[in-house]
Structures are given as structure tokens and as C-alpha cells.
Amino acid sequence: MEKKRLNLALLAGGRSGERQVSLMGAAGVEKALDSTRYRVVRFDPLTDLADIAASAANIDFAFILLHGLWGEDGTVQGFLDLLDIPYQGSGVTGSALAMDKNLAKELYRLHGLPVADWRVIGGPEPRFSVSELVAELGLPLVVKPVCDGSSLGMTIVREEANLRQAVEKALVHGGRAMVERFVAGREITVGVLGNDDPVALPLVEIIPGEGFEFFDYDAKYKPGATREICPAEVDEDISRRAREHAVAAHDALQLRGYSRTDMMLSASGELFLLETNTIPGMTPTSLYPQAAAEYGLDFGALLDRLIALGLEGRGRK
């Protein structure tokens, strides 16, 4: 007798600036999913929301492969909750908290996690004093949207004269900009896996290639633009602290299933949390799958584990 397969809706594409990244990742995920265990149907929330709702009774599980707004921010999670379709990763609250970099940093700080000082600029007619921001936070500064992903709208400002333009660039993405003290050092990212007792995966160091000032959109997705070292070559004390911080951030933001927290490691050995991703990139060579492979889960096994955690977290077998 044929083993029953799970009817899996793969949600990819969407409306955000990371649409193409989502579609590229979906191709790899669909290929890696075991066809003897899953019957996969693709849906694009940009055009297929009504089709998802109409098919809900026949969908056993949704694998969300949407990044940024309208996918990673709790909106699609709420839609699936209304349809009673289980999915991988965090629910509405955790997704929304992590997407809002300001709220996430407030929660990090509330839980004793280290962050660089910052200010938020926003409102219908955002007003701010360039000189006051520089006096308070110094130079260089990192300016980025409060709610967006893949470093879209982000600038490193090294001269006061460039700050206003950088803020205006970030405000285009959702109307709020974060101005953050720049931390020089090495960029580290740490994945977390699990529901009630999450564990940290091996560290990955991100080294943007020549011509890239930071890990921006092109550095993330242009082949060969960035070197990634897994496990990161840091001493055990730093590795331990980074892993502890990643799990603490995961818990502080009320996340489930998996997450990936980015942080900076200064020359003096201090760690500063930047942000937490609730739906990390999911190609076989993305940062999270690299760390999972080092941990002992190949790409197919990782996908199986995320689906199992999603079903478990929502009371399904």
C-alpha cells in the first residue's frame, strides 16, 4: 500500500523587494523535498491568495518561503492561521516583532542582550537634526529601514553631509528609518533550531568581497561576492556567547522552529546583536543550511525537521 504523502503548499514569490530571492529559493526547496513524503503544490501570494483559501481543506502543511514584508512579518502567518493550515517557523507575534528592528532591539536590551545605540526617525513628515544625531551617536552611522530585509535601503554613513540623503533613502521602505551607531568588526550569524528547547547551530562568519562595504543585497545574492566560513574561526568563549545570545534572542522575540540572528564581533571581543531573521534564506548554500549541514542535517533532512517542528508546534502529527 502506498504511504500517504503530505499535501504541502510551497508559498513563494510575494510582493516584497525580495521576491526574486524567494522564487530562487523555492526551486531548490521543491527539488530537495522527498517526493515519497510530500506532494508539493506551488502558490504565489502575489496572485494566489484566493486559490490558497479555496484549497485549504486539502492542504496539510504550508512551507513559507517568503522574505521581508507580506511574508516574514506575520501577515501570511495570520492568513494561514485563519485557514487552519499549519506552517513552519514562528507565528504572527514573533514574526511581527522580529521584522520590526526597533521593537526587536528594545526586546534584546530588555533581556540583557548587547546592542549598539540607535534612534528611529518616522511619522507622516519625518523631521530630524543631522547635527544632533551625529553628536549623540557619532560617525560612522548605519542607516536602514525599520521594517525590511536583505539590507534594502541600507547605507553606511561616514560623513555628516551624507546622513540626510541616507535617511531619506531608508524612509522610502515603509516610512521609518533606524540610525544606528556603527560597530566595526566581523559579521557573525548564528542559526537556532527547535521549539521548546531550541539549540544554536555552528557560527558562520560573513566576509563581503572586494568592492562591497557591507553584506548588502548584491553581496548576499551575487555568486562569489561573499566568502562564508562555517564554522567561524573564533575562540570558544566567543562562540559560546554568540550561541547563547542567539538562543536568548529567539526566546525574547517569542520565536518558534528556527531563526537566524546576525551580530557584529568587535576587535575587543564584544558582540552586538543586529537583527533576527525568522525565515532565513533557504537554498542549499544559504547561511542557515550551511550551519545546519555543519550541525549534521543535510538540506533535505533540515526541511523535514522544519516541517516536523511546524506540525508539532501547532498540535499536529
* Residue tagged active-site, from 260, 286, 288, 313: 260
The Cα–Cα gap between 267 and 202 comes to 21
Active site residue 256: no
Is residue 159 part of the annotated active site? The answer reads no
Question: In 3D, which of 209, 103, 114, 216 has the Cα closest to residue 156?
Answer: 216
Lowest-confidence segment of 135-139, 247-251, 311-315 by average pLDDT = 311-315
- Please state whether the predicted TM-score (pTM) of the whole model is above 0.85: yes
**How far apart, in whole angstroms, are the C-alpha atoms of residue 70 and residue 80?**
13
205 has catalytic annotation:
no
- Percent of the chain predicted with pLDDT > 90: 81
Catalytic residue among 13, 18, 19, 310: 18
Catalytic residue among 191, 259, 262, 313: 262
Catalytic (active site) residue 277: yes
Active site (annotated) includes residue 260: yes
Cβ contacts of residue 206 below 8 Å, gap of 6+?
A: 187, 188, 189, 215, 226, 227, 228, 287
pLDDT of 53-80, one tens digit each?
999 999 999 999 999 889 999 999 999 9
Q: Catalytic residue among 16, 90, 150, 259, which? A: 150
Tell me, yes or no, if 74 is annotated catalytic: no
Which entry of 275, 286, 288, 313 is annotated as an active-site residue? 275
